[in-house]
Structure 1
């Protein structure tokens, strides 16, 4: 009886974790698009900078004031040699995501974001000369095919937005690959990651945001109607972006890897649906089919990753399989892709 109650509570907690993760993630994406499209605040660098400022303050309060998580001590030298390079890639990842939202619909951006597994595998193959099981390569075919179909049939296609989203995938992949070496020895949770990286990211992005968008932001502040409500939405998106990190931390500890993968792909479909209901951007039948094929490919990729990770150490190898289980880590930011 007790085992049954415990199982039900575990399942309920996992479901609750997934729902609140979906909620924060989709809300942040929709709010950012609303800021660019409805509020006419067309300054993605400034929006990203506001997110980093809010995340820096939130992480400080969570660790230093409320002591939700203990602070992980980092050597001063490592902050510059390890944390700073990671912060730069972390910054580029978020900035490019917001930049793509400025020019293309949420549905298209989210579909391109699903390209990350392919870019990570290819980068590891090219740079580190790693070998992967043929099933890994096979799972990338529907992902790449779905992206191509979606791109060719996107009615609101914008080359600059497309390139920003694509380079965002490369930034995510690079962040994941670098994390294993640069952060070796430090077992960061999501809050400590933000605590150390967000201030660096703010410094990195603050100068370019001020130089390229400063005059435009000042003009917007002087001419925009309903300024108070607009600023509430803009800074609210920064607050929710920080809350998203809590939701990721919660869902990681409440679900299995397979559940997380499936939930992540369903989250993309949910974000596409919600964005269409709000912004009513036209989506053709082939475009929707391309998105569906991509998500199916991502689900298959996650399944293959899980099956290969369960192989016993003595499993016979072939020239195309990884030489060690460490070569399978990391392929994607497993459970931390949605950090803001």
Structure 2
């Protein structure tokens, strides 16, 4: 009887596994897709307006978030309860803007492969900010695992080598990429501090619903001041090649889809599975970007990136064991 019951359950389990695989595939596709399209627009296509591009992303996230929550009811609507909570969300939004804009700026100067190598050092910055802002200490083993994370990027960038490790290394792009990675880690730590009380916690979809329009308010004056006549330039580009409009619309939609699929994958898998998938995603993005953009990557650069990924995996394993103990 139990065998029949198990057999009866297998189709449902199989469907559940297929659903999860579909979610992960959608998450990978949207995440890597928006990264590669950002690189194409900002570097290869010549659309040199990273702040405006980020504002397009945030506008799409504002609209799609409202549709997903208010109309489609993917998650229940959560409301801002106080002015203090609003100010906390605004602070998170400002840091988030800095992260996305810096990341997009770096893509103008760095290949996706090197961008991903630097981005993999997020755990290092998270550990640093967590210690500085909350005095939370990790085990000494966890800190040791951060050594290969940072060393790998140093090797990949060629900072300690007389022969440049990364053929496409660009100092300003590297600084912007480090800034984006640090800001991403800072947002993560700030979110844990600012939204820690039970009455202020928001799920990631509702947090995006409120952060995105605030980000647009921050980015609009920055775009006007720093990227003068971007609208006129975009219209002129569209007259020459209307595909730029479709690129921007599709790219902005993908930016929201990244957040949606990340939320769904988090919901349907374990945190450990998410960490492993995230590490693998970076490696997949590197391989695909090299195949598409044909950017030169040295053996030293790949060795450095591999060392960083190994460090991230060891860091994740150390964190998991500390939580279990």
Judge same fold: TM > 0.5, yes or no: yes
Task: Quote the Cα distance in structure 2 between the aligned partners of 1:76 and 1:124.
Answer: 26
Partner of 2:183: 171
Asked if structure 2 preserves the Cα contact closer than 8 Å seen for 1:97 and 1:165, the reply is yes
Task: Quote the Cα distance in structure 2 between the aligned partners of 1:7 and 1:304.
Answer: 31
Instruction: Report the CA distance between 1:76 and its aligned residue.
Output: 4.2
Task: Quote the Cα distance in structure 2 between the aligned partners of 1:126 and 1:108.
Answer: 28
Structure 1 position 291 matched with structure 2 position 305: yes
Unmatched 5+ stretches in structure 2: 1-5, 159-164
TM-score, scaled relative to structure 1: 0.87
Structure 1 position 310 matched with structure 2 position 324: yes
Partner of 1:84: 90
Partner of 2:169: 157
Deviations 1:177-211 (CA, angstroms, capped at 9, x unpaired): 11122122333222211110000000001101111
Asked if structure 2 preserves the Cα contact closer than 8 Å seen for 1:221 and 1:227, the reply is no
Q: In the superposition, relative to structure 1, how do residues 222 and 309 fare at CA in structure 2: closer, same or farther (>3 Å)?
A: same
Which runs of structure 2 are paired with 1:33-44 in the superposition (5 Å)? Answer: 33-44=39-50
Partner of 1:14: 20
Aligned residues: 311
Task: Quote the Cα distance in structure 1 between the aligned partners of 2:146 and 2:286.
Answer: 21
Task: Quote the Cα distance in structure 1 between the aligned partners of 2:249 and 2:170.
Answer: 27
Partner-residue secondary structure (3-state), 1:282: coil
Asked if structure 2 preserves the Cα contact closer than 8 Å seen for 1:88 and 1:201, the reply is yes
Range with greater deviation from structure 2 (13-22 or 206-215) = 13-22
Range with greater deviation from structure 2 (127-136 or 283-292) = 127-136
Task: Quote the Cα distance in structure 2 between the aligned partners of 1:6 and 1:261.
Answer: 26
Partner of 1:73: 79
Going by fraction, where is helix more abundant, 1 or 2?
2
Task: Quote the Cα distance in structure 1 between the aligned partners of 2:44 and 2:239.
Answer: 12
Asked if structure 1 preserves the Cα contact closer than 8 Å seen for 2:238 and 2:245, the reply is no
Partner of 1:231: 245
Instruction: Report the CA distance between 1:124 and its aligned residue.
Output: 2.1
Task: Quote the Cα distance in structure 2 between the aligned partners of 1:40 and 1:34.
Answer: 8
Partner of 2:104: 98
Which runs of structure 2 are paired with 1:1-340 in the superposition (5 Å)? Answer: 1=6, 2-152=8-158, 153-184=165-196, 185=198, 186-223=200-237, 226-311=240-325
Task: Quote the Cα distance in structure 2 between the aligned partners of 1:52 and 1:132.
Answer: 34
Partner of 1:332: none
TM-score, scaled relative to structure 2: 0.91
Instruction: Report the CA distance between 1:83 and its aligned residue.
Output: 1.1
Partner-residue secondary structure (3-state), 2:128: helix
Task: Quote the Cα distance in structure 2 between the aligned partners of 1:198 and 1:118.
Answer: 27
Task: Quote the Cα distance in structure 1 between the aligned partners of 2:72 and 2:21.
Answer: 26
Q: In the superposition, relative to structure 1, how do residues 83 and 269 fare at CA in structure 2: closer, same or farther (>3 Å)?
A: same
Root-mean-square deviation over aligned CA pairs: 1.7
Asked if structure 1 preserves the Cα contact closer than 8 Å seen for 2:151 and 2:308, the reply is yes
Instruction: Report the CA distance between 1:217 and its aligned residue.
Output: 4.5
